[in-house]
Amino acid sequence: MPQRQLLLRAKYSSPLPRCSPLQLNRSWQRRYASGEAGEGNTGHINVAPSEGILFFNNLLPLNVRWPHKLLVMFDRRKSSVLTDQERFERVGAVSPSQVVQNAIKASNLGLGPVNIVEVLPRINEAGAFVKFHHDGATDPATVAEAVRLHLQKNKVRPWWNPFISVKANLVLGKPWIEDLFRLPSRRLKVEFFPTQPGKEAAELSQEQLYSFFRPYGKLSDIVAQPSDSKVVPRYAYLDFSRIGKAVMAKNCLHGYTVTEAQGGGQLGTIFRLTYEKKQRAGWVRDWLLNHPRIVISALAALIAGLSVAVFDPIRTLSIRAHITRAFHIEDNVVFRWFKTQSDDLISKVQQFRNASENDEGGMQVVWDDRKSDIEQIQSWLMETADTFIIVQGPRGSGKRELVIDHALEHKRAAHKVLVIDCKPIQEARGDAATIAAAAGEVGYRPVFSWVNNISGLMDLAAQGMTGMKAGFSETLENQLSKIWNNTSVALKSIALEGRSKSDTDGNLSDDEWLEAHPERRPILVIDNFLHKNSESGSSLVYDKLAEYAARLTTSNIAHVIFLTNDVSFTKSLSKALPDRVFRQIALQDCSLETAKRYVIQHLDFDAAEQKSSKDDAEEARKLTPSQKRKDLQELDQVIPLLGGRLTDLEFLARRIKAGETPTKAVNEIIDQSSSEILKMFLLLGSESREWTPQQAWTLVRSLAASDTLRFNEVLLLDAYKSEGDKALAALEQAELISVQSLNGRPYSIKPGKPVYQPAFQRLVGDKVLAAKMDLTLLGEAIGLESKSIDKLEQELHLLGELPKQPGELNSRINWLLGKIAGSQMKIEGYERESAGLKKILLSEY
């Protein structure tokens, strides 16, 4: 006889008494007494000697728990849809009670009367317990066998899964009917409990466990508890091939008592079965967590690869659209059609535009004066030389207008000019702001500059775990390189636009074709190069920009023009192109004649054009604003004081238009420049400045007397004996002075702006200010002489301590004494001058 039937007969070997009709009626009254938590919410099912329990599985989908919970949540009255027997039997794949009745009727095993007591739905496990009543002559195992044979003959396949069928088995143990939030799984944890408290339970072997659980379904693995484990009670894991098999075994064998004959020990052993969630992908998670150096680095590489594959083409198109103005409304065909159809409106707009361009009045005189520079730049752009074009000049000299508006006018019309302004990039605070500013200059979008901050935090966390950075966050240098590389791709595509294979040189490679056609290359203009170059961290941005420009020129992708105020630009650009000679144009101030014409034309440009029906003769008699002003004769006297700086000339013209005379306007400009010099250079400033007020005042006083100083002569002055070259370079960078060079050697010093010359004279003419600054200089000179005397006296003291005075030291001693006497005479002279200056400070306001 099979072992399964032996188990069934061992459980129900004692005779079962027959039930009276009254008892049978009472059992039918308990039909709805049980629920998901057992009878009386005790978690168990009370079974009389004449009763048995069957368990049916696959009656519902396993995931029906969630719809049922939602149904109960929204309508409490419908909570018994699945827990009520009658409704459950209508909803399930088959009616369990009907299956039992049909199996008894169709059975030829000689079964007596069998009545269904109740049906207990198990929603979590997609099954149900069926309690039945039988007479004493009927064996529960035989009833279970009849039901099994009936289901085997008449297979019931649920509509939601036609690959499974409904199964039924006799419950041998004492099932635990619970409604906890526990979902079925393929793994069962079998715990071995003693039949009496305080006694020992036998730990069944894998072979014994296999014989008990294999009849309920195929097992994939049996994992016994390690022998050295101290965990009690002892346990083992059983892995079934399917969840339905595990559900059947758990509900049929939970609470089953293994007798001594079956290997359960002298007092027997009880099975306690629970579902155990098996981590099927746990090895993947464990490997990922145990190898963070590999995983995090691979993740960073994956993110970087996806970013390049997805966003780089979009960014390149965005840069190209920024250069070619593809999405600019004024270049749109529809907009231009409306513009041509609206003549009246456009004429008004044109008048408004002319009025808004009044600031450019008089500039034509300047461009005529600089026509040779414009033609020189245009001729350089037609050559194939792979070098930089540098336009250097002080602020206000019109570098940007000269290059972009005039020299590159034809290139701008063809949309082949890209302008990068270094000022917003350099003035940005923080890496994220710098990246965003650089991206905005070239149209690099989308840019996620804020992600760099988050990536930095992730990198910091990875470094704490692995001891090394994962590479999520990229340095500012790498981010700038990405922006410039995408810009190179966009510029090259613009340069190759319009090329055809049918051309005579269509067989050339891209590089060869670009080298043969320099006129087709776009223009990159880098404005405000070396702006605030003295600040810390600025060299990185400028070095990367210079390297990028060098790659463009050497690969013949684009022409590069630098616009800079800094006279020391060769130091930065020579690093990028050390073997090239730069094409350079140095813009100087306008000549006095050009400056005068500029002011006059600036005044006349503002005159509104008056149209009337009078004849031309009467129109010709109308005077221009400059002809109406009698005080413009003063321009011959004030223009030499102001010089030819465009910003100062424009300021002068605005003041004259406001009603001031040229003399008064120039005096106001000189006063303003004097205040600017006093505030920025002479008063006590930040310690980060590389010059002292005494050094600045020395130049102010010297240049007030002479408009040109010898460079080396200044270095011999007392104020410049210590790091004089560094102080002069800083003052030139701040535009207090201008240093002229000859063959690369500085030879003269002039005021930074022409208007500074009379401003210097005005500052020196202020007796109180001059006395205060001279007193400071004298105090510094007295200190230097005193230090010199101290050193000389120390040497004399050292020589005087010698035990014997050799005759050879007499000349050295006399020299030291003479130096001390000379320094003392200087100190006395300085003190006499200081006394006179103090009298001025005490008597003047």
- Say which amino acid occupies 456: G
262-291: per-residue pLDDT in tens? 999 888 999 999 999 876 656 677 777 777
Element (H, E) at 170: strand 167-170
Coil, strand or helix at 24: helix
Model confidence band, residue 729 (pLDDT cutoffs 50, 70, 90): confident
Model confidence band, residue 451 (pLDDT cutoffs 50, 70, 90): low
pLDDT value at position 358? 42
To 10 degrees, what angle do helices 635-642 and 592-605 make?
A: 110
Q: Are 551 and 359 in contact (CB under 8 A)?
A: no
Residue closest to 403 by CA, chosen among 387, 421, 390: 390
Task: In whole angstroms, give the CA distance from residue 823 to residue 816.
Answer: 11
pLDDT value at position 549? 92
Angle among Cα 676, 678, 680 to the nearest 5 degrees reads 65
Asked whether the predicted pLDDT for residue 474 surpasses 90, the reply is no
Asked whether the predicted pLDDT for residue 156 surpasses 50, the reply is yes
591-618: per-residue pLDDT in tens? 888 888 888 887 777 554 444 444 444 5
- Going by DSSP bridges, is the β-strand pair 745-751/737-742 parallel, antiparallel, or unpaired? antiparallel
For the chain, percent of residues with pLDDT exceeding 90: 33
738-748: per-residue pLDDT in tens? 888 877 788 89
| Dihedral angle, C-alpha 423, 426, 428, 430, nearest 10 ° | 170
Q: Are 96 and 144 in contact (CB under 8 A)?
A: no
82-123: per-residue pLDDT in tens? 556 677 777 788 999 999 999 988 888 778 888 999 888 888
Q: Are 452 and 556 in contact (CB under 8 A)?
A: no
Coil, strand or helix at 398: coil
Task: In whole angstroms, give the CA distance from residue 100 to residue 104.
Answer: 6
User: Distance between the two ends of the chain, CA-based, in angstroms?
Assistant: 129
- Say which amino acid occupies 258: V
Phi/psi of residue 804, nearest 5 degrees: -140, 135
pLDDT value at position 78? 47
Task: In whole angstroms, give the CA distance from residue 678 to residue 688.
Answer: 18
Q: Are 259 and 10 in contact (CB under 8 A)?
A: yes
Asked whether the predicted pLDDT for residue 293 surpasses 90, the reply is no
pLDDT value at position 539? 77
pLDDT value at position 504? 80
Coil, strand or helix at 554: helix
Return the CA Rg of the chain: 50
pLDDT value at position 455? 60
Two structure tokens written together for 84 = 């009520």
Q: What is the mean pLDDT of residues 498-504?
A: 79
The torsion region of residue 389 among left (phi > 0), alpha (psi -120 to 50) and beta comes to: beta
Asked whether the predicted pLDDT for residue 259 surpasses 90, the reply is yes
Asked whether the predicted pLDDT for residue 701 surpasses 90, the reply is yes
The per-residue pLDDT of the chain, averaged, comes to 81
622-657: per-residue pLDDT in tens? 667 667 777 788 888 888 888 888 888 888 888 888
Going from the C-alpha of 376 to that of each of 229, 367, 379, 651, the distances in angstroms are 91, 13, 5, 30
Q: Contacts by 27-34 with C-beta closer than 8 Å and gap 24+?
A: 27/51, 27/115, 27/117, 27/133, 28/115, 28/117, 30/117, 30/118, 31/85, 31/117, 31/118, 32/84, 32/85, 32/118, 33/118, 34/118, 34/120, 34/177
Of residues 508 and 76, more confidently modeled: 508
- Whether the pTM exceeds 0.75: the reply is no
Angle among Cα 771, 772, 775 to the nearest 5 degrees reads 80
Task: In whole angstroms, give the CA distance from residue 234 to residue 203.
Answer: 7
313-356: per-residue pLDDT in tens? 888 899 998 888 877 666 555 666 666 666 555 454 444 444 44
pLDDT value at position 69? 56
